[in-house]
Amino acid sequence: GPKVLQIPSHQIIDMGQMVTLNCDPVSNHLYFYWYKQILGQQMEFLVNFYNGKVMEKSKLFKDQFSVERPDGSYFTLKIQPTALEDSAVYFCASSLEGRISDYTFGSGTRLLVI
Amino acid sequence: GDQVEQSPSALSLHEGTGSALRCNFTTTMRAVQWFRKNSRGSLINLFYLASGTKENGRLKSAFDSKERYSTLHIRDAQLEDSGTYFCAAEVVSNYNVLYFGSGTKLTVEP
């Protein structure tokens, strides 16, 4: 079936540097999401995005985080600057109608900040 | 994250047996989705329920919004059922945010 691709699958970065996580969503999907999973913990909502705008963000979505999807290309999560506590697996998801029933998740990007 | 409590965290079954996973919710949820994480780490949709029960092969799921829980039953477990299972739910007031359980790591042994 249709897939969400996340690039890269793994990233190691020095604390304080910038990182961009890329998500290639399902082609006709309109809603986009990022979730964060710290090792050993539950996946937690970060942000959702529709029609070029952030609709909602959680308290985990710090000021250092930003998202965009310029011209229908990758849906990106940028962290600038990174901090040690940003180490986690970041999952991207997309959906057509913004309903749980049609979510498609990627395999995640494992980010390690050192 | 505290809205969903998933149990057990780990489960070991012998082939051919069955058991149930459960998610309890601390608030009223609109719907629940059960996922299984595949070998590549992707979440595969198993069931979506807004109420009642659904069955697919050896899996059966139930969701009771009023009683605030959902279950996933596995019967006649096979080796290929091994993996990590997650529930995720959306609150009544906001269907654009999912609250995940912490996952159940299922191991099916010969």
Give the number of domains in chain B: 1
Residue A72 has pLDDT above 90, yes or no: no
Within 10 angstroms of residue A80's Cβ, the number of other Cβ atoms is 13
Chain B: give the shortest CA distance to residue A98, in Å: 6
pLDDT higher at B91 or A114 = A114
Amino acid in position B86: F
pLDDT at site B38: 82
What's the rounded Cα separation, in Å, for the pair B18 and A17? Answer: 49
State the residue range of the domain holding A81: 5-113
Over residues B35-84, the pLDDT tens digits come to 999 888 888 899 999 999 999 999 999 999 999 999 999 999 999 999 99
pLDDT at site A70: 86
Q: What is the CATH number of the domain that holds A66?
A: 2.60.40.10
pLDDT at site A97: 87
Tokens of B16: 């051919």
Q: What's the average model confidence in pLDDT over A58-71?
A: 94
Between A44, A101, A106, which is nearest B48 by CB? A101
State the residue range of the domain holding B44: 4-109
Chain A: give the shortest CA distance to residue B89, in Å: 8
pLDDT at site A40: 85
For the ranges A31-35, A61-65, A101-105, B103-107, the lowest mean pLDDT is seen at A101-105
Nearest-CA neighbor of A34 among A20, A18, A46? A46
pLDDT at site A46: 97
Q: What is the CATH number of the domain that holds B44?
A: 2.60.40.10
Q: What are phi and psi of A85, to 5 degrees?
A: -75, -5
pLDDT at site B95: 66
Within 8 A of A45 by CB-CB distance, chain B residues are: 97-99
Q: What's the average model confidence in pLDDT over A69-92?
A: 94
Q: Tell me how many degrees the CA angle B4-B33-A10 measures, rounded to the nearest 5.
A: 85
Q: What's the average model confidence in pLDDT over A39-44?
A: 91
Contact A43 B45 (CB under 8 A): no
Contact A105 B43 (CB under 8 A): yes
pLDDT at site A1: 75
Between B41, B90, B97, which is nearest A56 by CB? B97
Q: How confident is the model at residue A20 (pLDDT cuts 50, 70, 90)?
A: very high
Q: Which helix (H) or strand (E) holds B71?
A: strand B69-74
Within 8 A of B7 by CB-CB distance, chain A residues are: none
Within 8 A of A91 by CB-CB distance, chain B residues are: 43
Chain B: give the shortest CA distance to residue A42, in Å: 5
Between B90, B96, B100, which is nearest A56 by CB? B96
**Count of helix runs (H) and strand runs (E) in chain A:** 0, 11
Within 8 A of A56 by CB-CB distance, chain B residues are: 94, 96-97
